[in-house]
């Protein structure tokens, strides 16, 4: 039995808020599927529903009959697999009851959810916030001093994007990192042929994200299968693994996360074996972005990567392979390369924001390298003979 000393969120490594500037944009759908995706990837995850007046998380997970238990007068979340869930809905005698509370009382129950709940040790806590920038989002930001960041959900219409700017401004004011913007209801997926047809103007959230200087995490179409999964409480990811838009968004969210978490907590035997072998060989790993087989002068335009291993002591190349770069999304590559144990990236040019993200992932960046073959460039680097010029893409 868990003990009360494990209460609070101090042992949760990453706390992520999912918010929106406007209601009805599918924020809870994103929060639930993000939590499911993380849990099904092997992480230990908590999902906190802070929408006091309109809690929907239990229904979307098929947990309407879930009951909270207590240990030493502390709440124990409802569990489904390695996902822990807490919502005001579990405390209502009748699901139709309205919660008619003012700000101070709402902050009090949110504080209880955070401080008087046995969360235990978790990799992630996903916090589903109500729309807007009122009491609940403010309470979370005040009570959790080490929030990892916020995912902001919107639909492509102009009226929704107006409120997105307010949500981004809220995050900036409270010095909360914006992990990125998700465009929900981005087209309609035909249930017969699978063709996606745009209903709202396409790409508006991507443009808004670029204008506000925040990452764009991906787009989710109006998919009848996704809606049905939320209605019947099943896992969309398990039932439709071929529809990868939620996996892509999850990968983008975790890409900026700390390197150690990916190496030590993801339940992936191949990843652990690769890390173990790397430690034994005492090799360093260097990544070179490529275009037409040569170093890409502009990092963001690369088509492939050369991953080169070199012995740290002899300074000789021991292995080399070429892999295809993932579909470009802001903030994705630093975490993606960190998962591959890359320690150095050599490129012709890279924007300062990207350089900072690589630094956060403990990856050294060398810019201004000349065009050439990956082996030539790495050999020169290993021999301390690499001649670099000015960064060709400092924006």
Q: What is the mean pLDDT of the chain?
A: 85
Looking at the structure, tell me whether residues 16 and 114 fall in a common domain: yes
| HSE toward the beta carbon, residue 49, CA cutoff 13 A | 25
- Domain extent, residue 96, equals 4-255
At 369-395, the pLDDT tens digits run 988 899 999 999 999 899 888 886 655
Q: Is residue 358 part of a domain?
A: yes
| 227 and 353 share one domain | no
Residue 202 and residue 342 in one domain: no
Asked whether residue 213 is domain-assigned, the answer is yes
**Cα dihedral 32/37/41/44 (nearest 10):** -20
**In this model, does residue 298 exceed pLDDT 70?**
yes
0.85 exceeded by pTM: no
* Residue 17 belongs to domain with CATH number: 3.40.50.300
Which of 193, 222, 255 is where one domain is finished? Answer: 255
pLDDT in tens, 110-162: 999 999 999 999 999 999 999 998 889 999 999 998 999 999 999 998 888 88
Burial of 80 (0-12, 13-18, 19+ CB in 10 A): middle
DSSP conformation class of 283: E
- For 145-178, b/e burial (b = at least 16 CB within 10 A) is eebbbbbbbbbbbeebbebbeebbebbeeeebeb
Domain with residue 354: its CATH number is 3.30.420.130
Residue 368 belongs to some domain of the structure: yes
The DSSP letter of residue 390 is S
212 and 172 in a single domain? The answer is yes
- Is 395 among the domain residues? no
Of 221, 255, 289, the residue at which a domain comes to its end is 255
Residues in the chain: 395
């Amino acid at each position: 039995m868990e003990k009360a000393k494990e209460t609070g969120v101090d042992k949760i490594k990453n706390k992520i808020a999912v918010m929106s500037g406007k209601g009805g944009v599918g924020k809870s759908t994103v929060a639930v599927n993000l939590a499911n995706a993380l849990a099904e990837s092997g992480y230990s995850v908590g999902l906190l529903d802070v929408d006091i007046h309109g809690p929907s998380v239990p229904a979307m997970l098929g947990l309407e009959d879930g009951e909270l238990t207590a240990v030493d007068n502390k709440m124990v979340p409802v569990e489904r697999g390695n996902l822990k869930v807490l919502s005001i809905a579990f405390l209502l005698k009748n699901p139709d009851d309205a919660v008619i509370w003012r700000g101070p009382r709402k902050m009090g129950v949110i504080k209880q959810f955070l401080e008087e709940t046995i969360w235990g040790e978790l990799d992630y806590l996903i916090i589903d916030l109500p729309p807007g920038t009122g009491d609940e989002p403010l309470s979370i930001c005040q009570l959790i001093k080490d929030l990892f960041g916020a995912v902001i959900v919107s639909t492509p219409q102009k009226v929704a994007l107006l409120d997105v700017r307010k949500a981004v401004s809220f995050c900036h004011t409270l010095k909360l990192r914006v992990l990125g913007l998700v465009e929900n209801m981005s087209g309609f997926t035909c249930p017969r042929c699978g063709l996606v047809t745009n209903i709202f103007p396409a790409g508006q959230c991507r443009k808004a994200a670029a204008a506000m200087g925040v990452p764009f995490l991906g787009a989710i179409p109006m998919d009848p299968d996704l809606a049905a999964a939320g209605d019947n409480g099943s896992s969309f990811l398990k039932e439709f693994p071929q529809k990868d838009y939620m996996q892509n968004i999850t990968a983008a969210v975790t890409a900026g996360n700390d390197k150690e978490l990916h190496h030590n907590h993801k339940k992936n035997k191949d990843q652990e074996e690769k890390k173990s072998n790397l430690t034994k060989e005492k090799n360093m790993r260097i990544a070179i972005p490529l275009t037409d087989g040569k170093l890409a002068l502009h990092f963001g335009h690369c088509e492939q990567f050369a991953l080169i291993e070199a012995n740290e002591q002899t300074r000789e190349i021991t292995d080399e392979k070429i892999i295809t770069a993932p579909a470009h999304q802001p903030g994705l590559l630093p975490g993606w390369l960190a998962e591959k144990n890359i320690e150095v990236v050599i490129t012709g040019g890279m924007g300062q924001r990207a350089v900072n993200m690589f630094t956060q992932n403990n990856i050294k960046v060398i810019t201004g390298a000349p065009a050439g073959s990956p082996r030539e460039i790495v050999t020169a680097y290993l021999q301390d003979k690499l001649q670099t010029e000015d960064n060709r893409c400092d924006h």
